Chain A
Amino acid sequence: AQSVTQPDIHITVSEGASLELRCNYSYGATPYLFWYVQSPGQGLQLLLKYFSGDTLVQGIKGFEAEFKRSQSSFNLRKPSVHWSDAAEYFCAVGGPTGTASKLTFGTGTRLQVTL
């Protein structure tokens, strides 16, 4: 069965500091990996995705993530956090169309940004 673990429930960083959010997954084949962001009361916005190819993936809003197969990880990073980045971040794993294409989400990491 596929699963996602986000070990950090809550992270606080200062504005301008770097950020890394951890994500570990379990999946029986080559995974499709995603990071989403959710502001309070809102839906999910896709930050970036990994399907294949280059293991360092660039996303929107200055975010990037690195796929490490040996560690079953897909950590999200940002070099300099802005106050507007405060939100809930979800990592998700899925598969190709016609197979296990549903997304399985982690429980999320709440990011707080201090000024």
Chain B
Amino acid sequence: DAGVTQSPTHLIKTRGQQVTLRCSPKSGHDTVSWYQQALGQGPQFIFQYYEEEERQRGNFPDRFSGHQFPNYSSELNVNALLLGDSALYLCASSLGYGAELFGPGTRLTVL
């Protein structure tokens, strides 16, 4: 089992652009959460998806949106990118509420 996988590994965008990040959860996991980790900081919760619906949301603007597909994979979309959106974006999966298993992350750089 590959665990949680994320794509792409790295991404460079310019201000105002839109970006889509992808996550495949560990086999058997049904819940996907997304976190943003700025340089030198701990991860910050963005939102969590379960049964294709957003179950919880952190303190992030509406520019951040997501989706969960029937196979439990998920996408994170960020519109109108700002310099401050540069960060490591982590996806985590779990079954109900086990301990969350994190993927390696996508490093987003906004120029």
Q: Which residues in A have some Cβ–Cβ distance to B below 8 Å?
A: 4, 32, 34, 36, 41-46, 49, 90, 92, 94, 96-98, 100-108
Contact = CB atoms under 8 A, between A and B. Distances in A.
Contact of A107 (B42, B99, B107): B42
A107 B39 CA distance: 11
Contacts of A104: 45
Interface residues of B, number: 25
Interface of B: 4, 31, 33, 35, 41-45, 48, 55-56, 58, 90, 92, 96-97, 99-105, 107
B105 A43 contact: yes
Given A101-B48, A108-B42, A46 B101 contact: yes
B48 A105 contact: no
Contacts of B92: 44, 103
Residue from the set A49, A97, A98, A102 with the largest chain B CB neighbour count within 10 Å:
A102
